[in-house]
Amino acid sequence: MTDLSTFGFLRVRRTIFTLLTLSFILGFFHRFAPGAFSEAVRGEFHISAAALGTLASMHFYTYTAMQIPSGILIDRWGSRLNVSIGAVIAGLGSIVFGLAPSFAVASLGPFIVGLGVSTIFVGIMKSNSLWFQENQYGWISGITMLLGNLGSVLAAQPLAVLLQWFSWRSIFIGAGILSIALSILTNLFVRDSPQDAGFKPGNQYIQTQRVVSTKPWLLDLKTILHNKNIWFTLGAGIGTNSTFYAFAGLWGIPLLQDGFHLSNNDASLYTTLALAAYGLASLGIGWFSDRIGLRKPMIILGNLLSLVGWVGLAFLPWNPGWSGWLLYLLVGASASQIVITFAVVKEVVLPSISGMALAFLNAGIFLGVALLQSIFGWIMDISSNGNVVNGEPQYVFHDYIGGLLLFAAVSFVGVISSLYVTETHCQSLIEEKAA
């Protein structure tokens, strides 16, 4: 029997948030583990670095492609069912990877895992929108992003330590079993909305009711695509978040190695701390935006800081040391603006299609990362003009300037986009009646 007091409500809400967040963190493990165990995996299957890269990227292809379908499913059938099914699929994918007898079978693992974890992020964001008050959404989204992304920062070292005790195969099988266990707990304890858990509207905590759209999903998708605010918000998010992820995930480390001859370890410390700044600032910006009741100034500020960061990295006479730290931390912290863009996207559409809208923004950001990483690489190749020594292309700092300017240009488009985003005052602009 559910305890319907305020204490009972807060306990149920905490349990739901904790379970979904654990799945989200485990999703980050699945995402980064093939990279963290790269040597062991490559050694076992006798594959090149490029083949390992292709294997790991399978996760991102299915994950990105499945975002909008996941949003549609979550809007219609709720976070509980979709996250439970997704976590089982992810668990099975991890077990397939751990037991794989060949590289071909192993490649299926990240593919299946990407499919499974694609429901988790939108699932938790939708659940937060129903379980938390409107003026807490920025703060709770910030905590979600902080936990997920700090999980990815902290994962590298513990994963390396785990390898000293267990084989990579047993770690993947263990993670798979953990995912399946979390799926069972999610099914048992997560409820899609306070009403589903037996709580009645009327107390201060329950502001929204879960509403399911009765329209065909294609019509709902069309509504989202016709909403100008979604596009302006996406432009703003790509300007800060996609540029930063493209940098932290690929070009931020080689820039310090090629440009300043830093070791891999020293260089990766810069991107690791930039990611940590991103996570911590996510919490701060979400809380602050809720507190002042404004979203738009935070979005504009994020894009302006990001623009300053990219222009600074391209043109200022910086070096590894305090000036380098400052610029890396600046682009990392400015990327936290994404928390506010997620909140705005939820607030400018009907609550019944907020999952789809959140998924659309997330997919757009992921696509932006993939495109920006590739275009940055092409620009470097054009700049270095085929300078190859012993079959290896050689780059110097100058070859990175074009890519950094590309990021500055994308951030500038973000600044313009952010100026057109509607101020929501931390509230849903459109009310929807439960059927």
Given CA atoms 347, 348, 351, 352 in this order, what sign does their dihedral have?
Answer: negative
- In the complex with ligand LYPLPQDE, which residue's Cβ is closer, 330 or 365? 365
Euclidean distance between CA atoms 330 and 322, whole angstroms: 12
> Which H or E run includes 254?
helix 252-260
- In the complex with ligand LYPLPQDE, which residue's Cβ is closer, 197 or 272? 272
- In the complex with ligand LYPLPQDE, which residue's Cβ is closer, 236 or 262? 236
Q: Which residue of 298, 369, 372, 410 would you call a contact of ligand LYPLPQDE, by CB under 6 A?
A: 369
Q: Which residue of 81, 365, 404, 410 would you call a contact of ligand LYPLPQDE, by CB under 6 A?
A: 365
Site string for ligand LYPLPQDE, 310-349 (x = CB under 6 A): ----------------------------x-----------
First to last CA, the chain: 26
Which single residue brings its beta carbon nearest to ligand LYPLPQDE? 121
Residue 366 as a binder of ligand LYPLPQDE (CB under 6 A): the answer is yes
CB of 94 to ligand LYPLPQDE, least distance (A): 16
Rounded to a whole number, what is the largest CA-CA distance in the chain? 72
Coil, helix or strand at residue 392: strand
Torsion-angle region of 185 (φ positive above 0: left; ψ -120 to 50: alpha; else: beta):
alpha
Contact (CB, 8 A) for 411 and 305: no
- In the complex with ligand LYPLPQDE, which residue's Cβ is closer, 199 or 411? 411
Euclidean distance between CA atoms 11 and 403, whole angstroms: 48
- In the complex with ligand LYPLPQDE, which residue's Cβ is closer, 351 or 368? 368
Residue 121 as a binder of ligand LYPLPQDE (CB under 6 A): the answer is yes
Least Cα distance to 364 among 228, 226, 238 occurs for 238
User: What dihedral angle (degrees, nearest 10) is formed by the CA atoms of 63, 122, 354, 337?
Assistant: -90
Binding region for ligand LYPLPQDE (CB under 6 A) out of 69-77, 359-367, 373-381, 409-417: 359-367
Residue 248 as a binder of ligand LYPLPQDE (CB under 6 A): the answer is no
Euclidean distance between CA atoms 131 and 359, whole angstroms: 19
Residue 32 as a binder of ligand LYPLPQDE (CB under 6 A): the answer is no
Q: Which residue of 362, 417, 418, 424 would you call a contact of ligand LYPLPQDE, by CB under 6 A?
A: 362
CB of 3 to ligand LYPLPQDE, least distance (A): 33
Euclidean distance between CA atoms 164 and 88, whole angstroms: 27
Provide the binding-site residues for ligand LYPLPQDE, judged by CB under 6 A.
121, 241, 245, 338, 362, 365-366, 369
